[in-house]
Structure 1
Amino acid sequence: MIELLARLFIRGRDALAPSALRRAYGQLCGAVGIGLNLLLFAVKFFAGSVSGSIAITADAFNNLSDAGSSLVTLLGFRLAGRKPDPEHPFGHGRMEYISGLVVSGLILLMGVELGKSSLGKILHPEEVASSPLVLVILAVSIGVKLYMFSYNRAVGKKIHSTAMDATAMDSLSDAVSTAAVLVATLVGQFTGLMIDGWVGLLVALFILYSAYKAAKETLSPLLGQTPDPEFVRHIQEIVLSYPEVQNVHDLIVHDYGPGRVIISLHAEVSASGNLLQLHDVIDNIEHRLQKELGCVAVIHMDPIVTDDPETQRLRLAVAEKVKTIDPRLTIHDFRMVPGPSHTNLIFDTVVPYGVKLDRAQVQKRIAELVRQLGEQYFAVVQIDNSYVL
C-alpha cells in the first residue's frame, strides 16, 4: 500500500535527490499513520465504551497518542529537510532524531498512564462485557497495527531512519497490547476471570520497555555515538588506496543528521614529496569520499620522514615498546629531533577507551620505555583518544 501511495503522491520520485526522496517517504508514512491511528482510536473508544473495559479504552487512547506521534514524525521530516541557514550552517537533519525522541517520550507517557489505570483496575476489578463486534474490532486492530509495523520498518530500513524505526516499534507494541486485551476479553467471557487489569499492567510494562529501547536508539546519535565500523573501514580503504598516503589517523565522523555527515582525518604523507602534487592527491581523495560516501571530508596532511633508516628503526622500536603497555595502543606522527646532548622522539599515542591507565600514567610509562632504547632518548608524547571503533 505504501508503495502504491508513493507512486500516487511522490511525483517524479525516480528523479528526486536521495534527501528529497527520504523526506517524502517520511512525510507520507507520517500522514498514513495519522489517518490509521485516528480511525483505530474511534472504533476502539466505541468498543471500550460498549464493553466497559479499561484495557480497551486505554488501548484506544494509546492509538490517539500514536496519531500524535505520527504527526511529530511528519513534522520532524519536514523540519529536517530545511536548508542550512546562517544560524544552522550544518542543516536541520538532527530534527529527525529529536522527533524520534519525542515519539519515544509519548510512548513512555502512555505506558505510565496505562500502568496507573491498570493498577486501579486490579484494586477495583469490574466485570467486562463483550460482544462479537468488540472482538472483531480488536482483531482487525491487531492486523492494522502489524501492517503499520511492517511498512514503517521497511521504510525505516529503506531510508535509514531512526525515527521510522521508533514508529515501527511503537506499532509493534500496540499490536502486542491489543492482542493482550483481546486475550483478556476472551478469558473474561468464557471463564469469568477478571484479568483485565493484570493484562493491562503487562501491556504497560511492554510499552515502557519499547519506549526505553526507542529512546536509546534515537538519543545515541544526538549525544554523539561511534560511527558504523563498516563506514569507517570504507573511509580507510578509500584513503589508503592512494600510494602517496602512508597511514590514516585522528579520524572523526560528525553526524548532523541523515545525509549530513562531515568527516575529518589526518593522512600521513612523505615529507620529501612534492607539496603541490600531494595537495592535489588529498583534494582528489576528498572529492571521492564525497562522491562515494556522500560526506564532506576535510583531510589534514601530516608529513613524515620515510627515507631515513634511523628514524624508521626507532619508530618501529617505539611502536613495539608502546604495545607492551596495552596491545591496542598505536603511535603516529613520529619525528626524531637530535641534539648535542639528547634526542627527542616526538609522537602521538592513541589510547582507546577501556585502557586502565590514565593519560599521565601512560605518558610516564612510555617515557620509561623509550629510555630503555638509550639514555639519550627522551619521549615527547601527545595522548590522543580514538573516536572510532
Structure 2
Amino acid sequence: MSQTAAGQETGRAARNNLAFNVLLMVLKLVVGIWARSEALIADGLHSGADVFSSVAVMVGLAIAGRPPDSGHHYGHAKAEAISQKVVAVLLLLAGLEVANSAIAGIEHPGPAPDWIALAVALVAMVPKGVMAVTQRRLAKRTGSHAILAAATDNVTDAISSLVASLGILASRLGYASGDSVAALVVAALVMWAGVDVFRTAAVDLMDPAADPETTQALRERAQAVAGVLSLSSMRTRLNGARIFVDLEIEVDRHLSLLAAHDIAHQVEDALKAEPRVEGVTVHVNPAGEDGKG
C-alpha cells in the first residue's frame, strides 16, 4: 500500500470513527440522564472523550501526511505521536471525572435505572467491537499508531459498555449501588486506556526500531541485490508509520567506484519498494581478500 493510499484510508477511518462516536455520545448521555443511570452516563462521557480523541487523531494524521519541508527534512510523521498524547490526557481527565461522580453515587445510591439504559448499553457494545477489529487490521497494514490508539480506545469503550450493562442489571435486580460501582469500574478502564496510549506515544517519540519481522524482510531484500556480498550492519528507525534505514554493505574490493555506487543505488531502490520505507542511507565497505569484511 502506498503512503498516499494509506493516508487516505486512515483519514477515512478517523472520520468514520468521529461520526460514530458523536452518535454514541449523544445517545448514551441522553438515555443515561433520562433513565438515571450513572454507568451509562459514565459510558457516554467516555464516548465524549472518544469524540475529542477522534478529532485529535484526525488532526495528527493530517499533519503527519504533510511532505518534508525546509524545517522538517524527515517529514511530520511524529505528529501522530503528539495526537496520541492528546488522546491519553483526554482519557485520563474523563476517567477522573467519571470516578468522582461514581464515588458520590456509591455513597448515596439513587433509584434503579430504567430498562432502556440496559438496552442502549448492550447495543453500543456491538459496533464498537466491530470498529476495534477493523481499525486494528488497518493499523497493521498501514503502521499507523494513531489508528491503533483509536482501536484500543474502542475496545475499552466496548468493555465499558459491558460493565455498564452489568451494573444496570445489578441495580434492577436490587443491588442499589450496582450502577455506581459499574461507573467506577468504567472510570478505571478509561484511565488505564489513557496510560496505555500515553506509553505507546512515548515509545514512538524515542525513535524505536522496526519490528523484527519487518527488519528481517528488509535485510533479506538488501542481501538479494546482485553484488552485495554481506551486510556489515543495518539499523531501522520508525518515524510515525514510516521507516528509515541505515545500512552498510560489503562489495568486491576490486570494483570501480562507479560499480560500487550502482550497487548501493540498487539496494536503496530495493528497500524503498517496501511501502513503509521512506528513506535509505547505504554505506559501501570493501570486502576482504577472502570475500569477507
Contact kept? 1:265, 1:300, Cα under 8 Å: yes
User: Match of 1:266, as an amino acid?
Assistant: E
**8 Å contact 2:209–2:238 — kept in the other structure?**
no
* Aligned AA (1:241): A
- Which stretches of structure 1, 4 residues or longer, exceed 6 Å deviation after superposition? none
Q: Aligned residue for 2:108? A: 125
Question: Partners of 1:297 and 1:233 in 2: how far apart?
Answer: 15
1:217 deviates by: 2.7
Task: Report how far residue 219 of structure 1 moved.
Answer: 2.6
Q: Which residue of 1 aligns with 2:17?
A: 33
Determine which of 156, 177, 181 is the counterpart of 2:164: 181
Question: Which residue does 1:64 correspond to in 2?
Answer: 48
Question: Shift of residue 88 of structure 1?
Answer: 0.9
Q: Which residue of 2 aligns with 1:289?
A: 271
Deviations along 1:270-300, one digit per CA (max 9) or x if unpaired, are: 4333333222222222222222464422211
Amino acid at match of 1:70: S
| CA distance in 2: counterparts of 1:235 and 1:192, whole angstroms | 58
> 2-side partners of 1:80 and 1:137: how far apart?
36
What's the TM-score, normalizing by structure 2? Answer: 0.89
- Relative to 1, partners in 2 of residues 1:89 and 1:126: Cα closer, same or farther, differing over 3 Å? same
Q: How big is the shift at 1:147?
A: 3.0
- AA at the equivalent of 1:147: V
Q: Is the 8 A contact 1:55 1:196 kept in 2?
A: yes
Work out whether 1:95 is the aligned partner of 2:99. Answer: no
Q: What fraction of aligned residue pairs are identical, expressed as a percent?
A: 25
The CA deviation at 1:242 is: 4.3
CA distance in structure 1 between the aligned counterparts of 2:218 and 2:14, rounded to whole angstroms: 34
Change in CA separation of 1:19 and 1:50 when aligned onto 2, cut-off 3 Å: same
CA contact (8 A) 1:268 1:304 kept: yes
| Separation in 1, partners of 2:191, 2:84 | 15
Structure holding more strand per residue: 1
**2:31 is the counterpart of 1:47:** yes
Partner of 2:223: 240
In the superposition, the TM-score normalised over structure 1's length comes to 0.68
Matches within 5 A, 1:271-350: 271-292=253-274, 294-307=277-290
Name the counterpart of 2:143: 160
Q: 1:301 to 1:158 in 2, by over 3 A?
A: closer
Kept in 1: contact 2:46–2:190 (CA 8 A): no
- Count of residues in Structure 1 that have an aligned counterpart in Structure 2: 292
Amino acid at match of 1:20: T
Residue in 1 that maps onto 2:177 = 194
Which has the larger share of helix?
A: 2
Residue 208 of structure 2 aligns with an amino acid whose one-letter code is Q
Structure 1 residues 47-84: Cα deviation after superposition (integer angstroms, max 9, x where no partner): 22223332222221211111111111111211111122
Q: Which runs of 5 or more residues in structure 1 are unaligned?
A: 1-16, 313-332, 334-389
- How far apart are 1:243 and its partner, in Å? 5.8
